[in-house]
Structure 1
Amino acid sequence: MPDGPSIVIPAHNEERTLGRLLDGLLADLPDGPAEGEFDLVVVCNGCTDGTARVAASYGPRVRVVETPVPSKHEALRLGDAHAHGFPRIYVDADVELGAADARALTAALRGPGAVLAAAPDRELPMTGCSWPVRAYYRVWQRLPAVRDGLFGRGVIAVSGEGHARLAALPPLMADDLAASLAFAPAERTVVPSARVVVRPPRTWPDLIRRRVRAATSTAQLEAHQDRSAPAGTPAPPSARTGLGDLAALLRADPTLLPALVVFLTAALVARRGARRAVRSGDFATWLRDESSRRD
């Protein structure tokens, strides 16, 4: 049984994408993980497609856990119950990560100067994306919180101590943002030698669906922070984008103005779209972008 790092992959109806991820993680391990290499656990949650069949097709190299509950939080909990080792790497099923990238993340959590949490650098392939989507991400990728935070990558790796920090978090839609904010800047790092491919939405409606989900989940996280913060304490950390951040980007690169207009439009539309869910307390409806899952 591997005693090295565990990789937990929650997967809900990811038949079309899971193979890309597993191929990358196992590409240089043709005979399966060597002893002490990786412990791979795929948690198929509430799947109505062939996700479990895809995962099982990799044989003993991948352990498959199934639950009828379509919940990422439940999938992560089950994955933890079945995982064996640390560091522990949580990977969304719709991204692409290689074995070398997983090793680089593991190295950042071990030895002198190790941090508690790490994530890879992100690559956003824009092929096939409409021009408003490309404009939006031209701004988004430059935001300081996006560059330095662990969220929006679909991958977070933690040490044993870092895992205890995550285990104390409540179930939230913005699980990756909450995980990132759970660590001070000195306790987390983005590892430049590790890279994850995150496929963005291709169309404006799909982008808005993602942004509505993000606005809704951020509101839930902030409400939780307000409830749990003792009276008189400083404001909790936030990854919200302020007008000052956008003004600084424009000063540094005036050619960003058209893209900034698109970015602000998307933010306003998404915030308006999130109001109904926030008012009703609906933090369970997951607005999914299907365009990024097409070949």
Structure 2
Amino acid sequence: MAVASVVVPAHNEATSISHNLASLRSGSGPGALDVVVVANGCTDDTARRAREADRDARVIEIARPSKVEAVRVGNAATQVFPRIHLDADIELAGEHALLLLEPLLEGRALAAAPRRDVPRTGCSWPVRWYYAVWERLPQVGTGLFGRGVVAVTEEGQRRLDALPRLMGDDLAMSDAFAADERCIVEEAVAVVRPPRTLPDLVRRRIRIVTGNRQADAASVRRADSRTTPVTLVGLVRAEPRLVGPVVVFAAVHVVATLGARRALRTGDFSTWRRDESSRVAPVVRGQR
């Protein structure tokens, strides 16, 4: 019998879905996870690869390219709790998925997420500098967002179901829980591959800024999830060598904010500006 369900929305993730599903099954034990993959609006063979990679997973195909709709369909397809929401481009080993369940089953939290591993090999220097700052932000350290994985109890899922449909769903999911209702399980690790180029980073940040503003308008964003100039100045004072990276971080934020203006002006919260540079086939050890 499954001890948890995993809902995986996947849109054109053929390059990584096989590897990531195989990783999810590793170390979790036969039948421990009820995995539901919802291939939404795919124009590649994501669904076929998902079925071949995990014959025990249920793969559902829907025509509309919508993460929100894919998550809704996935939630409706399983009644197993706790539930893990996993982005298809995130690598999470099965044993680490099980570690996320412990604080939920013990009643210590309503929501849990793993520690991030953000490998920056192959990224341009502005991208590396940006993430050197981003990973030091207090809210990045304690929030559930930016990990691509959130595990929730049944009560936690009810809270997520009550949220408005938002582009920035991981921030809204994180801010749906107070600090004492969520936790980061340091022993569990999710591999979050960042953009490799500056233009791809800017595209990703435009989407995130747009989603953040939508969350602001819906009044579902907490004040402590925002980055302020005071925070950045504090980072430089603590580590003077970060002055260059902080300048890059601030510049990317300004450009992304300007880029988000059109979407904000027109109310376009559906255009998904994702970067493709982070979606490369993972390198398997022992292969070249």
* Kept after mapping to 1: 8 A contact 2:22/2:54: no
Q: 1:44 aligned to 2:39?
A: yes
Q: What is the TM-score normalised by the length of structure 2?
A: 0.95
2:101 is matched with which residue?
A: 106
1:267 is matched with which residue?
A: 253
Letter in 1 for 2:196: R
1:34 is matched with which residue?
A: 30
2:189 is matched with which residue?
A: 195
SS in 2 for 1:64: strand
CA displacement at 1:114 relative to structure 2: 1.9
1:231 is matched with which residue?
A: none
Q: Distance in 2 between matches of 1:22 and 1:286?
A: 23
CA displacement at 1:59 relative to structure 2: 5.0
Q: Distance in 2 between matches of 1:285 and 1:215?
A: 13
Identity %: 52
SS in 2 for 1:142: coil
2:79 is matched with which residue?
A: 84
CA displacement at 1:157 relative to structure 2: 0.4
- What is the RMSD computed on CA atoms of the aligned residues? 1.4
Q: Distance in 2 between matches of 1:54 and 1:17?
A: 9
**In the alignment, which of 271, 276, 281 is matched to residue 285 of structure 1?**
271
CA displacement at 1:237 relative to structure 2: 3.6
* Kept after mapping to 1: 8 A contact 2:168/2:211: yes
Letter in 2 for 1:9: V
* Kept after mapping to 1: 8 A contact 2:130/2:246: yes
1:243 is matched with which residue?
A: 229
CA displacement at 1:105 relative to structure 2: 0.3
* Kept after mapping to 1: 8 A contact 2:26/2:95: no
Letter in 2 for 1:164: R
Q: Distance in 1 between matches of 2:70 and 2:210?
A: 21
1:120 is matched with which residue?
A: 114
Q: Distance in 1 between matches of 2:47 and 2:144?
A: 28
SS in 2 for 1:24: helix
The C-alpha deviation readout for 1:29-67, integer Å capped at 9, x for no partner, is 6xxx534x1101100011110000011113532111111
SS in 2 for 1:121: strand
Letter in 2 for 1:11: A
Q: Distance in 1 between matches of 2:12 and 2:52?
A: 16
Q: How many residues of Structure 1 are paired with residues of Structure 2 in the alignment? A: 281
**In the alignment, which of 88, 96, 103 is matched to residue 91 of structure 2?**
96
Q: Which 5+ residue runs of structure 1 have no aligned equivalent?
A: 227-234
Aligned counterparts, 1:143-162, within 5 A: 143-162=137-156
The C-alpha deviation readout for 1:200-238, integer Å capped at 9, x for no partner, is 000000000011111111111101118xxxxxxxx9445
CA displacement at 1:23 relative to structure 2: 1.4
Q: Which 5+ residue runs of structure 2 have no aligned equivalent?
A: 282-288
